């Protein structure tokens, strides 16, 4: 078992807690435990999995507790799914340094709090950033609007900020974006025309945020 590279136990009706012994599987690259009935906390022992590229506990609504600090330092992680759980804590301000390979970051409907780290924009491989339905507050970092790699971007109701136009910046606003979902009523500006033809565009057109008129 110590040579196991992939653990795929999603949708398996598992209950109980995640055993700390998983941290002994030193060759493990994928831990996929989504949509079970798991409870308890994320074991800090998972931080010993130095080859782990996928950590997926999405949909385990009974999970709770703060995300262990060392989990945020698993530099090999590419896919981190904490959505639809009761896990809490804050996103580290230096996440671009500690999780430099992150490609998919999904925390919607979790209990994470705090603000959105500006360093998320420095993650060169980040294609999916799903923050809707969270307790994150404060400003949307301006740098995120010009993140080159982002293809899917969603924002929760408690954040605020201004969408720049392409005239306001030397860079194109979200040049590779395919899906944008804005829940917040306090985001201002106009949706740039360059985003009006993307695959999915969901936002509340109001006096402060509009665009893409037919």
CA distance 41 to 113: 17
Residue 191 lies in a domain: yes
Q: Do residues 60 and 38 make contact, with C-beta atoms less than 8 angstroms apart?
A: yes
Residue 1 lies in a domain: no
pTM of the model: 0.95
- The residue segments making up the domain with residue 53 are 6-210
Whose CA is closest to 55, among 64, 73, 37? 73
Give the pLDDT confidence of 31-83 residue by residue, as tens digits: 999 999 999 999 999 999 999 999 999 999 999 999 999 999 999 999 999 99
Residue 15 lies in a domain: yes
Instruction: Find residue 180's DSSP bridge partners.
Output: 153, 201
Low-confidence residues of the chain, pLDDT below 70? Answer: 1, 169-170, 207, 213-214
Residue 118 lies in a domain: yes
Indicate the number of domains in the chain.
1
CATH number at residue 68: 3.80.10.10
Cross-sheet strand order for the sheet of 200-202: 6-8, 30-32, 54-56, 79-81, 104-106, 128-130, 152-155, 179-182, 200-202
Residue 187 lies in a domain: yes
Residue 108 lies in a domain: yes
Range list of H helices, 13-169:
95-98
């Amino acid at each position: 078992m110590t040579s196991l590279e992939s653990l795929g136990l999603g949708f398996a009706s598992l209950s109980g807690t995640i055993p700390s012994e998983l941290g002994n599987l030193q060759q493990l690259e994928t831990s996929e435990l989504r949509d079970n009935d798991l409870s308890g906390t994320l074991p800090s022992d998972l931080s010993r999995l130095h080859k782990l590229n996928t950590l997926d506990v999405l949909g385990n609504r009974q999970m709770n507790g703060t995300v262990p600090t060392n989990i945020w330092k698993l530099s090999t992680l590419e896919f981190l799914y904490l959505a639809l759980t009761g896990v809490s804590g804050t996103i580290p301000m230096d996440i671009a340094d500690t999780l430099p390979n992150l490609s998919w970051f999904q925390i919607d409907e979790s209990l994470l709090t705090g603000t959105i780290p500006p360093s998320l924009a420095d993650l060169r491989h980040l294609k999916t950033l799903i923050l809707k339905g969270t307790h994150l507050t404060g400003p949307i970092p301006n740098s995120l609007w010009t993140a080159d790699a982002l293809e899917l971007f969603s924002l929760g109701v408690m954040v605020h900020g201004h969408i720049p136009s392409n005239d306001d910046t030397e860079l194109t606003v979200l040049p590779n974006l395919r899906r944008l979902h804005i829940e917040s009523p306090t985001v201002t500006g106009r949706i740039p025309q360059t985003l009006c033809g993307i695959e999915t565009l969901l936002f509340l057109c109001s006096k402060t945020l509009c665009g893409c008129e037919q």
